[in-house]
Chains A and B, each alone.
Chain A
Amino acid sequence: MTTTLHDPTRPATRATTYREALREAHRDAMQRDDRVFLMGEDVGRYGGSYAVSLGLLEEFGEERVRDTPLSESGFTGAGIGAALGGLRPIVEIMTVNFSLLALDQILNNAATLRHMSGGQVSVPLVIRMTTGGGRQLAAQHSRSLEAYYAHIPGITVLAPATLEDARGMLWPALQDPDPVVIFEHGTLYNLAGELPEEPEPVDIAHAAVRRAGTDVTLIGYGGTVWRALAAADDLAGRGIEAEVLDLRVLRPLDDEAVLGSVARTHRAVVVDEGWRSVGIAAEVSARIAEGALYELDAPVERVCGVEVPVPYPKHLEDAALPQVADVVAAARRAVGDYA
């Protein structure tokens, strides 16, 4: 898998991966601001469960790259305390599955303290975690629970899908005075591609059109952006021009981008690895119904994770998660291509 979002007008580029882009973002943030530090399970000596922080301990020392016990609630709470105390902590939680142990800290403290203190304190905390399936890690390591966090007022939820966003989202997240949760899809760490020598800043407020089209909008985020792009390639061969919208920000949702795209194409397919009921896709669909009903020429289609624990065997896991063929089929239904 390589990124196709190359712009030939850009200056010199270099080959990198999603993982390296994240590591660079950490290094850059820690060099720019002494208050920034990283903490989490195995982030130091082991270099991170997904090797994102490999080498950072050696470079920045134990004060700023801190291994923690296996205690999500404890170290997330410590992160909140550090943020209240004036630092800029990055807390890495191994996967979203284990983040539920820290959900109380995130919901009841991080997201709420500004309100409870009458605006006296804020929690400038960044929490990163891996999400998603497709790697045969079985149910307890494969969930997509982004919706749990996108439900919470008081925090920002990001889903970088590209190298540019992997490299660029961390710094603006650290500038946010309130908590920001960043979801990294597990299948993206090896994503290879080019980045400019001088990375360009990205915003953490807007969705992005990754491919322009006229017939149907495929809406995805994180890992599903690439499946939507692959589906769009397939659809182009059938004469269907699909627009691919990368949500990038799951909370607050960029309504203008979603409704604007649907107003152009009049059909929408939402692709979401999370379960279909009460999820991100449900929210996006509802907003389209609220804001663009009279633009719709077909019912909104949702391609979501099947409502089961993600299975371990590959063929069952594939069947449980949205695949390119499922997106193609949904888009063809939406445009009325029933052949």
Chain B
Amino acid sequence: MTPDQARAVLQEAIGHVVPGADLGPLPDDADLRDAFELDSLDFVEVVEQLSGIVGFRIEDHEAESLRTVERATRFLTARAPA
């Protein structure tokens, strides 16, 4: 998975939980939970959506790696080779 693909996948997952959410203008190191006002329940749902799209299980302890766009992109490209 390329960084661009990873970003698109992240956009799709967050869009399911926060309709209209746009990753575009967000700095790479911005905290996604703060930026989109995600509570713990929302975040679990983002993780669930993401797991569904990429086709593998993301565990609780891995979810920490999804806190920013930059870290999430790195995690997804590493875990989902093209």
* Direct A–B contact in the complex, CB atoms closer than 8 angstroms: no
Question: Measuring CB to CB, which residues of chain B are less than 8 angstroms from any residue of chain A?
Answer: none
A residues lining the B interface (CB < 8 Å): none
